[in-house]
Amino acid sequence: MAVKNFDVMNLGKAGLLNPEQAGYKDSIEIIKDESFRVQKSFVKIGWYLKHIRDNELFKEDGYASIWECAADQLGYSQATASRFINICEKFSKNHNSPELDVKYAGFDKSQMIEMLPMEPEQLEKVVPEMTVKQIRDIKTNDKLPKTAENDADIPGQTSIEKDFPEYMPEKQEEDLKKEKTEVYATSHKEECFALADEEKIIDGEYHEIEEPAEEVHVTEERLSPYGLPKTSYSEESLITTVGVGCGHKYYCFSCAQDCTIRQKDRYCREASLGNPFSCTTMHVLENVRAEQPDGQCQFINLDMAEHTLGKDPEPCCKNCDNESCGYRCQRSINKVNTEAADSDLMPKDGLAVTKYILKQENKILDDMLKFNDLPEMTVLKQKTIVAALAAMVCDLEAAESAPGPEPQPELPILKNNDQRKQWLEAYKTWGLWYRDENIDVNYYKYDFKDGSRLVVAEYLQRQDYYKKNKAEDEHFYHLLQIGKEGYKFKYNEKYRNSTDSETYLVDFLKNLQKRNLPVPDDKFFND
């Protein structure tokens, strides 16, 4: 295939130079300009991912989360997509823009990732010329002075740095570097003499033996799905903890993320703290991902997993409805086989169910109290569960023992208007519905079989406007009628600040009985 010749005119239109004509400074400026465009692209990608996530635009293609959408459409892992979003939120204009903030224009992607967890005071110390290691040193060195100050405040305390300097790690490292330098200088000098003996040197010609440049291999540090580096301690550290995954915040044994820096297996959710064992499903994630390309698995799509306030997602096969999955753990299979048998033993009554659960949770709490080394928050959480269930049992028992509302009397057969008026005046026989202590009003109600309701508001001992020192009870009727006649239409009346007259209610009762609704025998007027 023939190589096309450079068209200098077209390159000029595109704002480029002919590569053969570009000098050193032009080349450097072009490299800087292209590097700046690359950094801007990281921010722009992060902003658009954030835009899709915040507005849930991924649902247009049926995705359950932005991570699922990014993996399917762009080939990004959750860690990569999360990193792009974090870079946008940290380094864009006003922390929410597709444009890179000008003060971060000189930094590359690796530097930005290292700067993500830094505080504003630390960011002010970082310059684009620094390496990733130098940026990381700023984060660690900022913590050292505080420790030194705290140690100096204690009078008479032994200082390893002052009293035993030979045991300081820094001194050992310096001695090791010095030893390596001396060895290199000796070996390199011998190589130079050997080279001079082997080669024929022309008299008068200047020869300079260049020292081989040290090859620096910069590998991008692997981060967790949260965008944090692997937690590491020095060999002399006394607080080394196995399984502290990243950022001194997330612990491997309780984390369900698909992580490349995992130091310890995730524990099964039902494993006891005294004898923990690993979650078997976490070991077959690659197989699950291959057979579930749509992400319909809690371990692949963590948005489907159970979420608790303040905690990370907790996927578990026991909470999955796909009983045909070939990667279900044995504990979930046993659960399916035993649930049918346990359902017959499980009490059906609400109070009995609550008492049953309380008994189980109380047993767990008793087992926890037998261990003195359990985390305080773990025990406190279980105590809170037991206390809440105990309070719930008390409320249910009180509700069952409380007397229920008295049934309303049946509507008698009302043969004439006088009997209908008499029935309306005897509203107290319906039973008190409720009382409003704030305004000193009693409410009575009667529910008719057609769905209508008659409410009587009784105002106790109200002073008459015309009669001095004359206070008596007053009552007003409110009929919430079903199918009330409006202007050329019918509607269902609701409670409002409007009363119904006795005449209207008499007609309502008359029409109600004309519909041949079943009513009991005439007992109201036989007394």
The domain ranges of the chain are: 23-142, 347-404, 417-514
Between CA 430 and CA 407 the distance in angstroms is 9
**100 - beta bridge partners?**
92
- Per-residue pLDDT band for 343 (boundaries 50, 70, 90) equals low
Identify the residue with better confidence: 57 or 322: 57
- For the segment 29-55, what is each residue's pLDDT rounded down to a tens digit? 777 677 667 767 888 888 898 899 999
- Beta-bridged to residue 485, according to DSSP, are 490
Q: Which of 40-44, 138-142, 219-223, 282-286 has the highest mean pLDDT?
A: 40-44
The mean pLDDT value for 279-283 works out to 79
Over range 302-318, report the average pLDDT. 77
CA 486 to the chain's CA centroid: 52
Cα–Cα dist 179/165, whole Å: 19
Could you say which DSSP state residue 267 is in? B
Q: Which residues contact 358 (CB under 8 A, 6 or more apart)?
A: 386, 389, 390, 392, 393
Residue predicted with more confidence, 140 or 454: 454
- DSSP H helical ranges for 328-375: 330-345, 350-369
Task: Please check the confidence at residue 119 and state whether its pLDDT lies above 80.
Answer: yes
The one-letter amino acid code at 43 reads V
Confidence at 517, pLDDT banded by 50, 70, 90: low
CA atoms of 318 and 316, how far apart (whole Å): 5
Residues 508/481, Cβ–Cβ less than 8 Å: yes
Supply angle C-alpha 197, 198, 199, rounded to 5.
Answer: 100
pLDDT tens-digit series, residues 469-511 = 888 999 999 999 999 999 999 999 999 988 999 999 999 999 8
Residue 262 pLDDT > 80, yes or no?
Answer: no
- Kindly report the backbone phi and psi dihedral angles of residue 359, in degrees, each rounded to the nearest multiple of 5, phi listed first: -65, -40
Please check the confidence at residue 296 and state whether its pLDDT lies above 70: yes
Q: Which of 316, 406, 389 is nearest to 355 (CA)?
A: 389
Query: Cβ neighbours of residue 73 under 8 Å, at least 6 residues apart?
Result: 61
Q: Say how far apart CA 149 and CA 367 lie, in whole Å.
A: 44
Tally DSSP H helices, then E strands, for the chain.
16, 8
Say which residue, 170 or 122, is predicted with more confidence.
122
205-230 confidence digits (pLDDT tens) = 444 444 455 555 555 667 776 667 77
Mean pLDDT of the chain: 74
Annotate 75-137 with three-state secondary structure. CCCHHHHHHHHHHHHHHEHHHCCCCECHHHCCCCHHHHHHHCCCCHHHHCCCCCCCCHHHHHH
Residue 161 has pLDDT above 80, yes or no: no
pLDDT higher than threshold 70 for residue 342? no
pLDDT, residue 256, reads 78
Joined together, the tokens standing for residue 323 give: 């009983």
Most confident of 8-12, 218-222, 276-280, 388-392: 388-392
What lies within 8 Å, CB to CB, of 336 at 6+ separation is 323
User: Is residue 197 predicted with pLDDT exceeding 60?
Assistant: no
Identify the top-confidence range among 152-166, 247-261, 435-449.
Answer: 435-449
Question: What is the C-alpha separation between 388 and 358, in angstroms, rounded?
Answer: 9
232 compared with 392, residue with greater pLDDT: 392
Per the structure block, which two tokens stand in for 57? 């635009």
Does 16 have pLDDT greater than 60? Answer: no
Q: For a pLDDT cut of 70, what percent of the chain falls above it?
A: 66
Hey, what are 398's tokens?
């009180």
Whether the Cβ atoms of residue 446 and residue 454 lie closer than 8 Å to each other: yes
Instruction: Give the range with max mean pLDDT: 6-20, 80-94, 305-319, 500-514.
Output: 500-514
Residue 266 has pLDDT above 90, yes or no: no
For residues 301 and 65, the answer to whether their CB atoms sit within 8 Å is yes
| Other residues' Cβ atoms within 10 Å of the Cβ of residue 331 | 16
Structure tokens at 264: 């310890």
Of the listed ranges 190-204, 437-451, 474-488, the one predicted with least confidence: 190-204
Q: Give the contacts of 119 (CB within 8 A, at least 6 positions apart).
A: none
| pLDDT at residue 464, as a whole number | 85
